[in-house]
Amino acid sequence: MPLTDIQIRNAKATEKRFRLSDGDGLFLQVEPSGRKLWRFRYRYDGKEKMISLGKYPEITLSRARERLLEARREVAEGIDPSEARKASKRARVIAEALTFEAVATEYLEKLDKEGLAAATLKKRRSQLKNLSPSLAPRPISDISAQELLLVLRQVEAKGAHTAAVEARSLCSRIWQFAVSTGRADRNVPDDLKGALVSPKVTHRSGVTKPAELGQLMKALQSRQHSMVICAALELLAHTFVRPGELRKASWSEVDLPNALWRIPADRMKMKRDHLVPLSERSIELFGELRAYAGNSPLVFPSPRDPMKPYSDPVFNKTLRALGFGPEKHVAHGFRSTASTLLNEQSFPSDWIERQLAHVEGNKVRSAYNAAEHIEGRTRMMNEWSAFLLQHAN
């Protein structure tokens, strides 16, 4: 006898699993847990097999019978319903792996494994958010240059010209990854070079005239504002590391007896260890910061939480308070200041570039240079500190 909705609703779980038949191989399986599952038993190629048709009540009696008819039709046509479902699932998995979202996610995971800085990864994910809503579910090989351009122009329309250009560049790398992994035939975003509005390039301001630099160093040495932040800014001037590399520095990295600061690769933009020779003045400044840090493992701990560094804007806020606004000088500008003036003083460009932690393309030469230049860089850093102190007086 065929099942009825009342029979199904009234079927109560027992200690053992039991089945209620509806005929033609369809039955309802009632689990001890109370779950009710539709099953279809059939024979294929001389073997008895069984597949699931869904869970009751999500799949009603009438819908289960419809699924039964579909499965019986497959058997009649020589198709094994179980294998057909596996093939369908495989096709779905393959199709999902071909979408823009899947390729982009896989590409970012690759960058993460390669050691890309967390902040850079976060920026890449943010850039993709502007593109994902419309592109995410589409097979990457089906997306045309015109379709991508429309999405990028939506970003551009908000006045975010730099964001649009950077997003196109990121897409180009994602598409190249898709080509390399066999999921696209060509790098579509490369067709859009020159199609977007070129953003106005703004360089990070840095004083480059010795007289202005002297005024800045004198203002920092006066400690008119926070002693700690001014000392940190002065140390930034003497070492010209990136502001974030100083903000997050720990005492375990600083070897004062040997006048050396070793910044580990995981804190460097280019993911390689960076050696900073310390001048006498730099060592004095680390001493000032040591007195402030107390028992904190950080060189520059936040007053609110000694286990966390100061926030990112703190340096530029202090520079503004000292009369050096963003149009004149920013914390990152100490790098361009040092680069410009050291080049003018005829120091070897290899020394300067190495001290700026700029990457050498040739890995063998890079490793050789790291050892070759440490002596020269030590002399350069001492002379740079003397130059700063001279102009501050």
Active site residues: 242, 269, 332, 335, 358, 368
Cα 240 from Cα 72, distance rounded (Å): 75
**H or E element, residue 59:** none
Tokens linked to 201: 């390039």
| Secondary structure (H, E, C), 281-334 | HHHHHHHHHHHHHCCCCECCECCCCCCCECCCCHHHHHHHHCCCCCCCCCCCHH
What radius of gyration do the chain's Cα atoms show?
33
Contact 357, 269 (CB under 8 A): yes
Which residue, 153, 120, 121, is CA-closest to 134?
A: 153
Sign of CA dihedral 265, 267, 268, 273: negative
Beta partners for residue 26, in sequence order? 23, 40
- Burial, 127: exposed, middle or buried (Cβ in 10 Å; 0-12, 13-18, 19+)? buried
Residue with tokens 């700063």: 388
In whole angstroms, what is the distance from residue 238 CA to residue 186 CA?
A: 48
How far, in Å, CA of 303 to CA of 55, rounded?
58
Residues 37 and 31 sit within 8 Å (Cβ to Cβ):
yes
Q: Per-residue DSSP letters for 192-232?
A: GTTTSPPPPP-PPP---SHHHHHHHHHHHHTT-S-HHHHHH
